[in-house]
Structure 1
Amino acid sequence: MADRGVRVASGIAVGVVVIGVAEIVSVLISPDSTPLQAVGGWIIDHTPTGFREWIIGLVGTDDKLLLFICMGVVAFLLSALAGAVERARRPIGSALFAVFGVLSTIAALTRPESTWTWAFPSILGVIAGILLLRSLIERADRSSDVTEFAVERRQLLRGIAIAIVVGGGVGLVGRVIGLRSRSVANERAEVTLPPPATPATPVPAGADLRIPGLSSYLTPNSDFYRIDTELTVPQVSKDDWSLRIHGMVDREIHLKYGDLAARPALERLVTLTCVSNPVGGDLVGNASWLGYRLDDLLKEAGPHPDADMVLSRSVDGFTAGSPLAVLLDGRDAMLAVGMNGQPLPTEHGYPARLVVPGLYGYVSATKWVTELEVTRFDRAQSYWTERGWSPQGPIKTECRIDTPRAHGTYPAGSKLTIAGVAWAQHRGINAVEVRIDQGEWQPARLAAEPSIDTWRQWAFDWEATGSGVHTVWVRATDGAGVVQTADVADVVPDGASGYPSLTVRVS
């Protein structure tokens, strides 16, 4: 009987081959049809809200990378287990791979964008894996009965190593070919954005205090946060893209990307905020967006008087429910096609997405948007409201401390500049105040405010006195005169609240 090490190695080799075959088969179907992609998407959709927010709070926007790593570790361990328990006459390991094949096939077929062909990568990968496992285990059992066991064992291990290398290589080639074949990077690079009929307000020099450690007024595209439900970025060609406006409307509208050129474009400065952003967190960014007014598009469709919600749908099946009244109240809600003077980056929704000032992204900022369904909140639920989040999602007044660094040590008498950003989109920021320990609230100086739809920089100069640990607190007041609440709340169900703070040591 083969030793356990050989069996474990056989199982690992088979696991690599299963994934490799699935990846190469997916080239003919979709990169998202592979077992890891399908299972990963299913995990994202069914992860409990509290656990998901804990993970985001722990690793931020690296949550998808962490999921891939965890899936890889689990796949490695299950493959090793399958090899360890496999026997020539008791194919328990093969049964484990078969169960994995069934589950990954179900996961693939239940993805929103799937077709029946999405079953093939998992099925063919598992069939190839089971055949290989049976062959390796039978050979391993035979090798243990011959006189020259050591020679046979080395040959078997060499075969296992070859299977791992070939399987991994095939899988890598399949993944690269699949991603390149559907990449829209070259297409995007050739897109020329239309000139805005109504340009954004020029950003005055006073809007950016240019303090070391303080976030710049405009967030570069490469630094803008990304939170969505996709393991890999959808690749949507502008030639295939269309927008359908339907539901409770007088007339259904269908738009192709080329149709947008006949419409006047607008450019606006808008800060986006994720509802998962903790107090003082970095899931917020400010950009210049180019697009087309949503209220014009919706009015052309003619919403029914009793409609109160627009359910936007992404190419990947994600949905967000926005209050219809908000989209029609005159704010610069738009179907965006440009970001900071460039076509939308693919990870931020190329070729088109929604941008709505004053609403958290989970109820408004649909990327790769393909549908706007005019409906009612009592008739439809969006992706996150089905998972316990609030249906409305207005952004709360918040602020953040960017500098100095937390837990730093500074000599007594040194002058520290405490600085950060504050936001209350579509209400603006009227004041920011800073408190040291339990002292009085003192006004910070504010940068210029080009738009009430963006964040506003602030700074406060403090002479560090009194040895020991000091706590710095900050609060903001919005354009309506409402002071940021001190009540501490978690991100679920409608955004975090409370005062951001940091501690420093004076010596």
Structure 2
Amino acid sequence: MKRAQSAILAATCATLTMVLAMFVGRFTLGTPLIPELIAQQIFALVPLWLFTPIIRLLGFWAKWLAFALAIVGYMAGGIALGWGYAGWRARSQRVPSIAMACLFGMAIWFAVMTVGLPLLGVGFFGVRLRGGVWAGSGGLLALHLLYGVLLGWLAPVAMAADRAQQPSQAASFRLGRRALLRSFVGLPMLGLVTAAAAQLCLTVAARLASASGLMFEAVKGLASEITPTAKFYTISIAMFDPSVNPRTWRLKIHGLVEKPLSLTLDDLKAMPAYEAYVTFLCISNEIGGRLIGNALWTGVALQDLLAMAGVKEGARKVVFRADDGYSTGVPLERCLRPQTFLAYAMNGDALPREHGFPLRAVIPGYYGMKQPKWLTEIEVVDHDYLGYWEERGWADEAVVKTMSRIDVPPHRGRVPLTGEVIAGVAFAGDRRIASVEYSIDGGQTWREAQMKPALSPYTWVLWGANLDLPHEGEYVLAVRATDGQGHKQDARVAEPLPDGASGYHKLRIKTTHA
């Protein structure tokens, strides 16, 4: 086996093992996962003009594609560095040294801490890492030492494999390809591969969703009035959702308050509960999109917590911070409304991890970006504050625009002249829906649809009507809604960026032959 091939195999073994150990550490000890930080930074730096078409083309897979590319790039860098080291040791004809390889690993670690992490947005030596400087830097140091140890162990094998082709070399180094592979397969770290892969698959599988179910219950294909928790859409900035320990978790309320608070989950559950059906809509939802869901949320009124803390004069905004590093600012006035609350339960069960366990904000009337999950901190401030998405060009106000959607019949579906139903959902944040109209001629004329009464002032409504068509042919269906303030849905077509999509949802159908 050629020297270069031996060196590449040794470097690949060391890099792969380090990355696998990094995955396991991420889900067990909270060790930073460098590819995850790279993927998050890629998304943070994507130009606004490019963001929407990427999401439209790839959907949720855009984030996972960035993550996959980050893993490939990170491993390529580790393999290249390890290859250079192993090749240098092989060419030097010196006795291999694990100590020297450990120093090499520490040098890479130092470069990552002083150059890599600042470029990834978590600061010098990872000062902004969620687990803190010592936990993050210590975990990464251990991983890079592991990388060095493996290089120091496997690089001699690569040397020996090269020397094995020369009869005059010492027999102690004649291990060859099989010995190298046996050494790697024997690594204890490989026993952890199954656990890491299983955790990753569970995380991805938890994000899969679809909708079914209503005259509303009899209409096949219409969204369920209450979205099942497992089918409720999820959006987050992190590659993997935080795993929060409820025993050590605290909600801190501070800033311009008379009495800073630090509350446990049990403290919050001991307070009078507030419960409401509230619909969530993602600001990046396209016209006719599915990033919307309705659920029953249970928690505690935010105005009660702010009253306990005692808000000082001059306060303007309330800043919410989350365990995954996300943050956003909301006007104080909105936070003092009785319908704004912090939820610890969803659809009658404890808040699931993917929806923000142990606590998330529920602020009717706003898009989902203003209702963060995994809350850890609430700060009252006297100045404006732009959070994660606002700094990247999304609207700070983020008030829900009136929207409506056709669920049935499907686009380009074939329907009979009579006996078919047209149905869907409509939503206007906290302004209610007053009426829904549909059209069979692309919006030239309109007909009133029937609505099912909303579950609360803050939810969508289900709407429907019998679809009777005058003659055979092709039709363009459209829908529009009017909110409780008398304002009709905006007909102008606009992209989601920066303040949410607008325009009528339209689709084409054809009649079936009699």
TM-score of the superposed pair, with normalisation by structure 1: 0.82
Partner of 2:446: 441
Partner of 2:38: 39
Q: Which runs of 5+ in 2 are unaligned?
A: 92-100, 201-213
1:412 deviates by 5.6
Partner of 2:464: 459
> Is the CA contact (8 Å cut-off) linking 1:6 and 1:157 kept in structure 2?
no
> Is the CA contact (8 Å cut-off) linking 1:207 and 1:217 kept in structure 2?
no
2:317 aligned partner, one-letter code? M
Partner of 1:250: 258
Would you say 1:121 and 2:139 are equivalent positions?
yes
> Is the CA contact (8 Å cut-off) linking 1:21 and 1:167 kept in structure 2?
no
Would you say 1:297 and 2:296 are equivalent positions?
no
RMSD: 3.6
1:404 deviates by 2.0
What pairs up with 1:361-372 in 2 under 5 angstroms? 361-363=368-370, 365-372=371-378
Would you say 1:235 and 2:243 are equivalent positions?
yes
1:66 deviates by 3.3
Query: Aligned partners of 2:161, 2:239: CA distance in 1, in Å?
Result: 43
Query: Aligned partners of 2:362, 2:327: CA distance in 1, in Å?
Result: 14
What pairs up with 1:410-429 in 2 under 5 angstroms? 410=414, 413=417, 415-429=419-433
Moved more, 59-68 or 222-231: 59-68
2:268 aligned partner, one-letter code? L
Aligned-residue identity in percent: 31
2:146 aligned partner, one-letter code? A
Moved more, 132-141 or 369-378: 132-141
> Is the CA contact (8 Å cut-off) linking 1:24 and 1:170 kept in structure 2?
no
What pairs up with 1:86-485 in 2 under 5 angstroms? 88-89=87-88, 102-103=111-112, 106=117, 107=120, 109=126, 110-133=128-151, 136=154, 139-147=157-165, 155-157=176-178, 159-160=180-181, 163=184, 166=187, 169-172=190-193, 175=196, 208-330=216-338, 332-363=339-370, 365-378=371-384, 380-408=385-413, 410=414, 413=417, 415-438=419-442, 439-464=444-469, 469-485=474-490
How many correspondences in the alignment?
475
1:117 deviates by 2.5
Moved more, 106-115 or 308-317: 106-115
1:402 deviates by 1.5
> Is the CA contact (8 Å cut-off) linking 1:489 and 1:496 kept in structure 2?
yes
Partner of 1:18: 18
Query: Aligned partners of 2:272, 2:473: CA distance in 1, in Å?
Result: 59
Query: Aligned partners of 1:171, 1:54: CA distance in 2, in Å?
Result: 38
1:491 deviates by 1.6
> Is the CA contact (8 Å cut-off) linking 2:417 and 2:468 kept in structure 1?
yes
Moved more, 413-422 or 151-160: 151-160
2:398 aligned partner, one-letter code? G
> Is the CA contact (8 Å cut-off) linking 1:20 and 1:172 kept in structure 2?
yes
Partner of 2:207: none
> Is the CA contact (8 Å cut-off) linking 2:359 and 2:375 kept in structure 1?
yes
> Is the CA contact (8 Å cut-off) linking 2:328 and 2:388 kept in structure 1?
yes
CA deviation map 1:84-127 (0-9, x unaligned): 666633899x9899658733762561424432231233333334
Query: Aligned partners of 2:5, 2:139: CA distance in 1, in Å?
Result: 29
> Is the CA contact (8 Å cut-off) linking 1:248 and 1:303 kept in structure 2?
yes
Partner of 2:495: 490
Higher relative contact order (CA 8 A, sep 6+): 1
Moved more, 343-352 or 249-258: 249-258
Query: Aligned partners of 1:6, 1:173: CA distance in 2, in Å?
Result: 27
Partner of 1:187: none
DSSP 3-state at the match of 2:57 = helix
Partner of 1:60: 59
Query: Aligned partners of 2:86, 2:183: CA distance in 1, in Å?
Result: 22
Partner of 1:184: none
> Is the CA contact (8 Å cut-off) linking 2:432 and 2:483 kept in structure 1?
yes
Query: Aligned partners of 1:448, 1:70: CA distance in 2, in Å?
Result: 47
Query: Aligned partners of 1:472, 1:154: CA distance in 2, in Å?
Result: 72
Query: Aligned partners of 2:150, 2:90: CA distance in 1, in Å?
Result: 12
Residue 17 to residue 284, structure 1, CA distance change in 2 (3 Å):
same
Residue 208 to residue 251, structure 1, CA distance change in 2 (3 Å):
farther
Moved more, 339-348 or 414-423: 414-423
Residue 165 to residue 115, structure 1, CA distance change in 2 (3 Å):
same
> Is the CA contact (8 Å cut-off) linking 2:105 and 2:147 kept in structure 1?
no
DSSP 3-state at the match of 1:88 = helix
> Is the CA contact (8 Å cut-off) linking 1:26 and 1:178 kept in structure 2?
no
Query: Aligned partners of 2:79, 2:71: CA distance in 1, in Å?
Result: 12
Would you say 1:69 and 2:79 are equivalent positions?
no
1:46 deviates by 4.1
Query: Aligned partners of 2:66, 2:110: CA distance in 1, in Å?
Result: 20
Query: Aligned partners of 2:131, 2:157: CA distance in 1, in Å?
Result: 42
Query: Aligned partners of 2:86, 2:159: CA distance in 1, in Å?
Result: 9
Query: Aligned partners of 2:477, 2:30: CA distance in 1, in Å?
Result: 49
Query: Aligned partners of 1:210, 1:114: CA distance in 2, in Å?
Result: 53
Moved more, 118-127 or 59-68: 59-68
DSSP 3-state at the match of 2:493 = coil
> Is the CA contact (8 Å cut-off) linking 2:161 and 2:175 kept in structure 1?
no
CA deviation map 1:144-166 (0-9, x unaligned): 454489x9999425523752674
Query: Aligned partners of 2:494, 2:144: CA distance in 1, in Å?
Result: 47
> Is the CA contact (8 Å cut-off) linking 1:10 and 1:160 kept in structure 2?
no
2:356 aligned partner, one-letter code? G
Query: Aligned partners of 1:249, 1:335: CA distance in 2, in Å?
Result: 18
DSSP 3-state at the match of 1:362 = helix
Partner of 2:208: none
CA deviation map 1:240-283 (0-9, x unaligned): 22222222233333322222244211211110111111111111
